Amino acid sequence: MTKNESLQKAWPLYEATHGHVPNSTRQAYAWAVSQGILKLPPIDPLDVGAEQMAQALRAEIKTDQYGRKYRVNHAVRATKAGVQYTFWGVLGFAEHGHMERSFSQRREQVVGDCTQLKTDVDVYNDLSQRPKIQCVLDFTEDVAEREALSMLRSSRHKKVA
């Protein structure tokens, strides 16, 4: 059984035992360890540190001269000899090809998330007797609203400063 399969097997056991109430994976994992279903993983300090660095890189935001907040660091996933690596580049310094691949991979993630969201909503709607949940996937107006709000906040900030 793979690691994911073990984790996927533990979750419904926890969930059923605790009344099908949404809960945290931390609590579910601790319960599964206490029940002997899962074991605590060995810790590699370099893996922990690298993951913390990746989270910090993902979270680094700066503001440009026009008040637009942007991500500084951009990742590209690549597989070499069957091992997946993530290579980070800094916006404004990374090669064009790196940035192009990074943006393309992020767009694919969004498309994948939207496809799965629509499937999940469709299945829920088919299973439920409740009012149907609408799943609107055209984000044009949402993006325009957020850009306008960002620009409004930026102009207010400049007046105060």
State whether 83 and 154 are in the same domain.
Answer: yes
pLDDT band, residue 151 (cuts 50/70/90): confident
Tell me, what's the pLDDT at 150? 83
Q: Does residue 33 share a domain with residue 9?
A: yes
Query: Alpha-carbon distance 34 to 21, whole Å?
Result: 19
Cβ-contact 91, 102 below 8 angstroms: no
Mean pLDDT for the stretch of residues 10-33: 93
Dihedral of CA atoms 40, 45, 47, 50 in degrees, nearest 10, equals 140
CA dist 135 and 87 (Å) reads 34
Domain shared by 10 and 78, yes or no? no
Going by pLDDT thresholds of 50, 70 and 90, the confidence category of residue 158 is low
**What pLDDT does residue 153 have?**
79
Give the range of the structural domain holding residue 37, as residue numbers without chain letter.
1-41
Same domain, 56 and 111: yes
Share of the chain above pLDDT 70, in %: 97
**Position with higher pLDDT, 156 vs 48:** 48
Residue 161 clears pLDDT 70, i.e. is over it: no
Total tally of structural domains belonging to the chain: 2
Classify residue 136 by its DSSP letter: -
Q: What is the mean pLDDT of the chain?
A: 93
- β-bridge pairing 61-63 and 73-80: unpaired
Whether residues 49 and 34 share a domain: the answer is: no
Q: Looking at the structure, do residues 66 and 125 belong to the same domain, yes or no?
A: yes
Q: Examine the domain organization and report whether 35 and 108 are in the same domain.
A: no
* Residue 15: closest CA among 27, 2, 33, 5: 27
- Per-residue model confidence (pLDDT) at position 102: 97
Residues 134 and 77 in one domain: yes
Q: Based on the domain organization, do 92 and 139 belong to the same domain? A: yes
Q: Are residues 11 and 63 in the same domain?
A: no
Are 109 and 140 in a shared domain?
A: yes
- Same-domain status, 11 and 49: no
Residue keyed to tokens 């056991």:
13
